[in-house]
Amino acid sequence: MKLPTATAAALAALAAAAAGPAAAQSANERINMVIAYDASECPVARPGEVVICEILVEADRYRIPSNLRHSDNPANRSQARLVDEIKYVGDFGTMSCSPAGAGGFTGCTQKFVEAWAADRGEAEGIRFGRLIEQARQERLSTIDAEAAAEQERVEMIEREYMQRLERERQAELPGEGTLPVPPASTPPQDGPGGE
C-alpha cells in the first residue's frame, strides 16, 4: 500500500518528534555554571543546555572567593590543623609514617591518601561536578516519562490514521452504489407499413 506524500511526511515528522528525548541525552549539551546569591538570579536553561546554579549565602557575596582563601603558608594555618599535627608528634611505630620505630613507614600511604581526600573534598570543581551530575539525573528522570507520553501520542495518531483508512476502504465510491434503473421500455411500435 502506498501512502500519499502528505501522510508519509506527517509520519516522518512524528517519528522525528519521538526521537527528541534520545537526542537530549547527547554529549553536545552546553553546561552553564553560575554562582548566585538568590534563586531569582539563576538563568533559565535553554534547549540543549544544563544550568547549574550554586546558590551561596548572602553573607559571602563580598568575601574572598573560597578557592583563594586557602594558603600553604605556615603563618596561615588554622588552629584545627595545628591540633591535628600535634596529635601525631609522639606517634611512632607501625602505621605512624615515622622514621623512628619498627614499621614506621607503614602509615605513610594512609596519610597521603587522607591528605588527598581532604584536598579533593574541598575542591571547588568537585561541588560543581556533583551538582552537574544531580541536574543531569533530574533531567533524565523526566525524559522516560516524556518519551512514554510522546510514544502514546504517536501511537494514538497512527491508530486514528489506520481507522480512517479502513473507513475509507469500506465506504462506497461515488457512483458505485446501486445502479439506476433504466427507464421503462415501451414495446416497439409498428411503423407506417405495419400489419
From first to last of the 195 residues of the chain, give the pLDDT tens digit: 444 444 444 444 444 444 444 444 556 788 888 888 888 888 888 888 888 888 888 887 778 777 777 777 777 777 777 777 776 666 676 777 777 667 777 778 888 888 888 777 666 666 777 788 888 888 888 888 888 899 999 999 999 999 999 998 888 777 666 666 777 777 767 666 555
Note the pTM of the prediction, 2 decimals.
0.27
Phi, psi of 27 (to 5 degrees): -80, -5
Dihedral angle sign, alpha carbons of residues 146, 148, 153, 157: positive
Name the residue among 36, 62, 65 with its Cα closest to residue 51: 36
